[in-house]
Structure 1
Amino acid sequence: MSVEAGDLVVRKSYGRDIMFRVTAIRGGEAELLGEELRLAADAPLEDLEKVEEGERRKRKKAARQKEEDCYRLFRQEARKIRAQSEYEATSGYQSESDFFELPGRVLHIDGDANYLERCERVYERAGIPVYGVHTAEEKMADEMPSLLEMVRPSIVVITGHDAYWPAKGETNDLKAYRNSKNFGRAVRAARNVVPQMDELIIFAGACQSYFEHLLKAGANFASAPERINIHALDPVYIAARISFTPFMERVKLHELLRNTPSGEGGLGGIDTKGVLRRGLPAAKAVGPNYRLHLK
Structure 2
Amino acid sequence: MISKGDLVTRKSYQNDIIFRVQSTNGPLVKLVGEHVRLEADADIQDLQIVTGAEYHRRKEQVDQQESYSYRLFRQDYRLLKETRESEAGNGYTTGKEANYFQIPPRILHVDGDPLFLKKCIAVYEQLGLQVHGQYLHEKEMPGQIMSLIEKVQPEIVVITGHDSYSKAKGTTRELEAYRHSRYFVEAVRNIRHKYPNFDQMVIFAGACQSHFESLIKAGANFASSPERVNIHAVDPVYVAARVAYTSFMDHINIWEVIRNTISGESGLGGVETRGLLRIGIPYSKESQEDL
Instruction: Tell me the TM-score normalized by structure 1.
Output: 0.94
**Partner SS, residue 91 of structure 1:** helix
Q: Does 1:186 align with 2:183?
A: no
Match of 1:104?
105
Equivalent AA in structure 1 for residue 288 of structure 2: A
Contact 1:145 1:193 in 2 (8 A): no
Instruction: Quote how far apart the aligned CAs of 1:150 are.
Output: 1.2
Q: What is the CA RMSD across the aligned residues, in angstroms?
A: 1.3
State the distance in 2 between where 1:254 and 1:57 align. Answer: 32
Match of 1:285?
288
**Partner SS, residue 282 of structure 1:** coil
Instruction: Quote how far apart the aligned CAs of 1:14 are.
Output: 0.9
Q: Which moved more, 1:231-240 or 1:142-151?
A: 142-151
1:52-131 alignment, distance < 5 Å: 52-94=51-93, 95-131=96-132
1:22-61 alignment, distance < 5 Å: 22-61=21-60
State the distance in 1 between where 2:3 and 2:233 align. Answer: 24
Q: Give unmatched runs, 5+ long, in structure 2.
A: none
Q: Does 1:258 align with 2:259?
A: yes
Contact 2:66 2:262 in 1 (8 A): no
State the distance in 2 between where 1:216 and 1:64 align. Answer: 34
Instruction: Quote how far apart the aligned CAs of 1:255 are.
Output: 2.1
Contact 1:102 1:277 in 2 (8 A): yes
Instruction: Tell me the TM-score normalized by structure 2.
Output: 0.95
Match of 2:236?
235
Contact 1:21 1:33 in 2 (8 A): yes
1:107-186 alignment, distance < 5 Å: 107-186=108-187
Q: Does 1:210 align with 2:211?
A: yes
1:241-252 alignment, distance < 5 Å: 241-252=242-253
Instruction: Quote how far apart the aligned CAs of 1:211 are.
Output: 0.3
Match of 1:293?
none
State the distance in 2 between where 1:27 and 1:15 align. Answer: 23
State the distance in 1 between where 2:168 and 2:191 align. Answer: 31
Q: Does 1:12 align with 2:27?
A: no
**Partner SS, residue 161 of structure 1:** coil
Instruction: Quote how far apart the aligned CAs of 1:90 are.
Output: 2.4
Equivalent AA in structure 1 for residue 147 of structure 2: S
Instruction: Quote how far apart the aligned CAs of 1:121 are.
Output: 0.4
State the distance in 2 between where 1:65 and 1:115 align. Answer: 18
State the distance in 2 between where 1:114 and 1:64 align. Answer: 16
Instruction: Quote how far apart the aligned CAs of 1:84 are.
Output: 2.5
Instruction: Quote how far apart the aligned CAs of 1:66 are.
Output: 2.5
Deviation string, structure 1 residues 136-167 (Cα, Å, up to 9, x no partner): 00111111111111111111000000001011
Q: Which moved more, 1:233-242 or 1:191-200?
A: 191-200
State the distance in 1 between where 2:148 and 2:194 align. Answer: 11
Deviation string, structure 1 residues 174-228 (Cα, Å, up to 9, x no partner): 1100000000111112112311111100000000000000011110000001001
| Sequence identity (%) | 50
Contact 1:248 1:273 in 2 (8 A): yes
Evaluate the alpha carbon distance shift between residue 97 and residue 258 of structure 1 in structure 2; reply closer, same or farther with a 3 A threshold. closer
State the distance in 2 between where 1:39 and 1:59 align. Answer: 17
State the distance in 1 between where 2:104 and 2:63 align. Answer: 26
Contact 2:188 2:203 in 1 (8 A): yes
Instruction: Quote how far apart the aligned CAs of 1:274 are.
Output: 0.3
